[in-house]
Amino acid sequence: MVQCELVRIMITETADPQVIVLKEVDGERSFPILIGISEAIAIDRKIKGYEPARPLTHDLLASVVTSLGGAVERVEVCGLRDNTFYARLLVRQNGELVEVDSRPSDAIALAVRLDAPIFVAEEVLDEVCQ
């Protein structure tokens, strides 16, 4: 796994899908992931410091994880099949590491809320950065 960071969000409110770009922390490779408008806005608002009056979906999920004594250790973009990215959340709870299947957009929206690192499988990077 290679640690990456979110370096760009491109939101076009008149079209779908939206685009986020991940880049290696210690390298030059980067790649886009197409996501939905609601996930893009959720990520963008959190990065810009917008705090809604009531919790939105990703805020709620972050609250549930922490309220139950869990901590998101990392997000992993772990696969790419038929032009669809796959991800998982690795949540530590009561000393156990639990893997939760996720869409990359939701996992990244959660990662930005909880300051969790984002990792991408080397084989995914090899495929998308050819």
Find the CATH number of the domain harbouring 46: 3.10.690.10
Residue 67 has pLDDT above 90, yes or no: yes
Residue 60 pLDDT exceeds 90:
yes
Please name the residues in contact with 53: beta carbons below 8 A apart, sequence gap of 6 or more: none
10-37 confidence digits (pLDDT tens): 998 787 889 999 999 999 999 999 999 9
Q: Which domain holds residue 37?
A: 2-128
Residue, of 56 and 122, whose pLDDT is higher: 122
> Looking at the 3D structure of the chain, how many domains does it have?
1
Residue 112: φ, ψ to 5°? -70, -25
Task: Say if CB 21 and CB 11 are below 8 A apart.
Answer: no
> What pTM was computed for the model?
0.92
Residue 22 is predicted with a pLDDT of: 97
- pLDDT confidence bin for 111, thresholds 50/70/90: very high
